[in-house]
Structure 1
Amino acid sequence: MTSGAGAAGHSLAFRVMRLCRPSCQVDHPLLVDPSDVCNGEDSVNFKELLPGLVNGNDPGFWKRFELQEPMDAMGLSGQLVLPQTFGSIYLGETFCSYISVGNHTNHDVRDVIIKAELQTERQRIILSDNSKSPIESIRATGRFDFIIEHDIKELGGHTLVCMAVYTDPDGDRKYLPQYFKFTTSNPVSVRTKVRTVKDTTFLEACIENQTKSHLFMDQVRFEPAPPWSVTTLENEEEASESDGPISGYIKSLKLINGNGGARHYLFQLKRPPLESSDVKLEGANALGKLEILWRTTLGETGRLQTQQINGSPTPKKPLDVKMTNLPQRILIERPFLVRMEVTNRSEQFTGPLRVVMSETDDNGTPRTVLMNGLLSLVSSRIHEDLTGTLSQNLVAVAAGVQRIAGICLVDARDGRQVEFVPPTEVNFEALLFVANRSR
């Protein structure tokens, strides 16, 4: 890496080399026939030198186009090549560098303090600092080496500042700063679409590879925000019997090709019905964050987390209904009283409201908890930001844990459904009869 400032007039100088995994050396050999190399084109005039050419059977011709070994098509020479340039650094990767402080003079320097700092537009990160235990001396033509690592979390320009404070042979204290600049870019582009179908929200994420190399997706996970729950919808490809072990393994890889390759992911989001204490969550539209983990072709890892993904704002419920004052002990076939608190959260009055209860569920099964007495109870108007109370007698026809469900508030004027009362599970006890036997 080149330095933004020289070390002229100083005994020490910094050298920085980026540490990354080597790449495979690829050679594309030029396949020619040995006779062409030895004899040349002039040998065509001397056909007696090439009897195969006269007979129309030139083995050198087909050997140029047919591979003797399948691996020759890849051009891999079996050698690894170290990076010759600094290369590209992407967001989410680990920046690792080998820093060498060399003494290029013929005399020793003493009490050397070395500090490495990474500066961005937002912050400064100290990567190495030995000010508490300085190096006693660096001899002539000697050097001191160390390695630094940092996870790249910001885009844009970065400056690696290497500083050294030392004492020269004349006893003077000198300060040497050197600056090494590089720029980080985004490895992937994430585009999202949010669609809502009834009570279910679907999030589609498209991840596009903006690097030149392939990326292998280790994990693409969506971290939902409370109170959302997530299910990843994947289309799993089953390996056929004709696929070998290598072909089946290749199909299982979640690969995104370089230079614009893309892959799509689908997530299903749901959240439970809002309770009265969750009023603040009604208008919230934060869904969560997307976490992406990948590997390059040689196994180098990367990790990114998107910003908060927002969905469509949840419409505020005009009414908030909850059951209160349920009896602690309820017997079957004995009426019991429940109270319902109705809070008007709209900007205008509502009502009059009528309480109705269905006798069967959505599947047509009779309910085990029914209304007792009047099947319809009408309330008065409820003004904005006020709470009204409704009472209703119910009766259970089955013992055990049963659900009180199917209670709905409708507008008494036009019969429009306004709000459903959230279901509640209650334990109902059976009646016990003890017979007295006379002796």
Structure 2
Amino acid sequence: LDVTTHTLTLEVDFFQVNAAVLMRLTKPTLFTNLPVTCEERDLPGDLFTQLMREDPSTIKGAETLMLGEMLTLPQNFGNIFLGETFSSYISVHNDSNQVVKDILVKADLQTSSQRLNLSASNSAVAELKPECCIDDVIHHEVKEIGTHILVCAVSYTTQYGEKLYFRKFFKFQVLKPLDVKTKFYNAETDEVFLEAQIQNITTSPMFMEKVSLEPSMMYNVTELNTVICGDEGKSTFGKMSYLQPMDTRQYLYCLKPKPEYAEKAGVIKGVTVIGKLDIVWKTNLGERGRLQTSQLQRMAPGYGDIRLSLEMIPDTVNLEEPFDIICKVTNCSERTMDLVLEMCNTRSIHWCGVSGRQLGKLSPATFLSLPLTLLSSVQGLQSISGLRLTDTFLKRTYEYDDIAQVCVVCPYTSNES
């Protein structure tokens, strides 16, 4: 009995009626040669050129290219990477001159966490005549890294009623094909920007077929990896999306809370699930691989009991002319607040209106829109500061400075030289 996987052969120490052969099914590779040339005035003359023309592995008319038109069958087991499909061919052959009965072939894959049955059929074959065989092809998408053991077990009954059983083990390692790193950037508008750095840590190029982000139920996602040119989007990575060995590529996504969640203060806080990355690639002769990350989580920024944000502010305002802004005050606590607004002038920013006015009670997880008017007495980029909110229940004051910046320009231009 021989159990063979390319160059690996295991022999049994006792007589068996049947023989089993196990082979991994992989794509062939393009045959490469090393062209040797010389100048016509050199001693060999056109000898090397003539030999390359007669070589059946070269391309006619382009003999100096390393790649030929022939394919090479795998000479070893090769590497198996996470996300690829492991395919194997199992053949049980009756080497004897006897008819055996009730042949059951079972293939299991043992990983560090589970044992999977890969056999297409779990029913026994009634009989197997001499010089006949039972063939089976198994497929499995590899979802774990580390050591894997393929167990091939065969049981049968001889013509004398003797029940025999044997099994063989084949151990192989599953490697990590990609290194994925993520970074989160929080915006004041509740948007979250995700930067995913993907590095090819294999020894061969990859064609990146798809890299997408599947958001969680709380977010909508926008991919920022294309540039709009007319009516069509052009990828920032070009037409040929190849990732060379040890190269790294950055993908950017913008996540925005859905309206039903964004309107509820306090829902998106603490550790929140963003979603997961779905990566699909192809390698040698179109071999496909797919990898999904675990759920990506980020720590939402803390805003304390009260959050003050801007809903509307002009980019540019005129010097010493009033302009309007709209603030949004959100109660992020779990208690009702009775708020009082105070406005403190700064050197450049002056508030218009009554300071110390009552805003009323604000229930938990609710907000109110607050229109305000102010003017600037200094040109340039000015910071809006000086808002104070006081909770009369707890006598606690919340200070808000550097809320935003506005560009102040002079509306009058001098024509004097």
TM-score by length of 2: 0.67
Q: Where in structure 2 are the equivalents of 1:220-369 lying within 5 Å?
A: 220-234=211-225, 236=227, 251-258=238-245, 260-272=246-258, 274=261, 279-319=266-306, 345=333, 352-354=339-341
Cα separation, partners in 2 of 1:251 and 1:69, compared to 1, 3 Å: farther
Find the counterpart in structure 2 of residue 23 from structure 1.
29
Give yes or no for contact 1:95–1:151 (8 Å, CA) kept in 2: yes
SS at match of 1:298: helix
Q: Which runs of 5+ in 2 are unaligned?
A: 52-58, 230-234, 309-328, 344-353, 373-386, 391-395, 404-417
Quote the Cα distance in structure 2 between the aligned partners of 1:410 and 1:35.
Answer: 91
**2:171 is the alignment partner of 1:165:** no
Quote the Cα distance in structure 1 between the aligned partners of 2:23 and 2:365.
Answer: 74
Task: Indicate which of 179, 186, 196 corresponds to 1:189.
Answer: 179
SS at match of 2:75: coil
Cα deviation, residue 19, structure 1: 1.1
Find the counterpart in structure 2 of residue 144 from structure 1.
134
Find the counterpart in structure 1 of residue 412 from structure 2.
none
Find the counterpart in structure 2 of residue 90 from structure 1.
81
Find the counterpart in structure 2 of residue 44 from structure 1.
none
Matched to 1:311, the amino acid is: R
Cα-to-partner distance string for 1:414-438 (whole Å, 9 max, x where unaligned)? 78459x9xxxxxxxxxxxxxxxxxx
Q: Which runs of 5+ in 1 are unaligned?
A: 41-57, 239-247, 322-340, 357-373, 391-403, 421-439
Quote the Cα distance in structure 1 between the aligned partners of 2:366 and 2:60.
Answer: 86
Matched to 1:313, the amino acid is: A
Cα separation, partners in 2 of 1:34 and 1:143, compared to 1, 3 Å: farther
Cα deviation, residue 198, structure 1: 2.4
Cα-to-partner distance string for 1:385-417 (whole Å, 9 max, x where unaligned)? x86999xxxxxxxxxxxxx94458952597845
Quote the Cα distance in structure 1 between the aligned partners of 2:167 and 2:30.
Answer: 36
Quote the Cα distance in structure 2 between the aligned partners of 1:275 and 1:251.
Answer: 36
Quote the Cα distance in structure 1 between the aligned partners of 2:95 and 2:365.
Answer: 87
Quote the Cα distance in structure 2 between the aligned partners of 1:119 and 1:221.
Answer: 31
Cα deviation, residue 62, structure 1: 11
Q: Where in structure 2 are the equivalents of 1:207-218 lying within 5 Å?
A: 207-218=198-209
Task: Indicate which of 11, 16, 19 corresponds to 1:10.
Answer: 16
**2:103 is the alignment partner of 1:123:** no
Q: Where in structure 2 are the equivalents of 1:415-434 lying within 5 Å?
A: 416=399
Quote the Cα distance in structure 1 between the aligned partners of 2:82 and 2:75.
Answer: 21
Give yes or no for contact 1:3–1:179 (8 Å, CA) kept in 2: no
Task: Say which structure is richer in helix.
Answer: 1
Identical amino acids, percent of aligned pairs = 30
Cα separation, partners in 2 of 1:305 and 1:227, compared to 1, 3 Å: same
Give yes or no for contact 2:33–2:66 (8 Å, CA) kept in 1: yes
Aligned length: 335
SS at match of 1:181: strand
